[in-house]
Amino acid sequence: MKLLVTGGLGFIGSNFILKIFSENKDISIINIDDQLFGSNSKNLTKIENSEKYEFIKGNITNNDFVSELVKKCDVVVNFAAESHVDRSISNSKPFIKSNIYGVFTILEAIRKFDKKLVHISTDEVFGSLENKSADENFRFNPSSPYSASKASAELLINSFNVTYGCDCLITRCTNNYGPRQFPEKLIPKTILYCNYNKKIPIYGTGKNVRDWIHVNDHCEAIFEVLKNGKKGSSYNISSDNEIDNKTIIKKILSIMKKPEDMIEYVKDRPGHDFRYSMDSSKIKNELGWSPKIGFDEGLEETVNWYLNNKEWWQKISQESLVPEWQK
């Protein structure tokens, strides 16, 4: 099987590729990535010389480029996206271009060459939920330009499934954590701020709740959907591990033996959803997937990875960790 992975130098994409290579000898991968914000070429140095791996720099909005590569593969796994919510608040145009038009470009090639697509989406399409958990049929209610662009892409994909009979599947996942995540996100940013002995900013009261899943568990779920998911279906991926941001930061402070007075409360983010939650019964019942990595175990492993791989992140300036809308 030959996979075309888009955005494979990013956090989840690179972990997916590494997992596929470590567990499957009969799969080859073409990885396309435009090496924009959040990508890191160091993520895949371990396999860059493999005969079954090829990296090609390029953008998914380039029609001819995407079409030529889709023609060569069996399945497209689309991780490529602008994914940093804070940046979508300060400038939403790149999110519309990549997350909507880029998906359209892939869909046109999928339709032309009769290929399969697994598209990676997000729990944020459902918006903030007070006390419910969204299943696959829950209505969309996106709150940020980022989540709106991802919801739009899903609607476009579903329209290609219905109108043209395309074989496209969608996975939605809760908050990921683990190695190789760009330090603008909460967990790696907190680790780096602790390392610099800087005050750790926390939005509002710190009580916003997310369901946290280790990236390796997410990647296993994606591969299970790729192999066995029903044509045209979507699958929610969650770990039933809802924790508020303040508790996450306190856990990291404890692991790194830092005082809790390093926490600094800052102005809340515009449109900051209070709670995300998804019901992942479908993928568990239909495909037999379930998460394996406990949060405390995975968090300590993640902290240690960043502390033991400082060369991976040391060139990232402290200034770049501050969201544009706060500057």
Instruction: List residues with catalytic annotation.
Output: 123-124, 146
Residue/partner pairs of 45-51 with CB below 8 Å, 24 or more apart: 46/18, 47/17, 47/18, 47/21, 50/21
Find all residues with CB under 8 Å of 48, minimum gap 6, and list them.
55
How far apart, in whole angstroms, are the C-alpha atoms of residue 305 and residue 203?
25
How far apart, in whole angstroms, are the C-alpha atoms of residue 132 and residue 76?
32
Residue 209's beta-bridge partner residues? 244, 275
- What is the residue type of 164? Y
How far apart, in whole angstroms, are the C-alpha atoms of residue 88 and residue 185?
14
Find all residues with CB under 8 Å of 212, minimum gap 6, and list them.
174, 175, 176, 177, 239, 241, 243, 248, 295
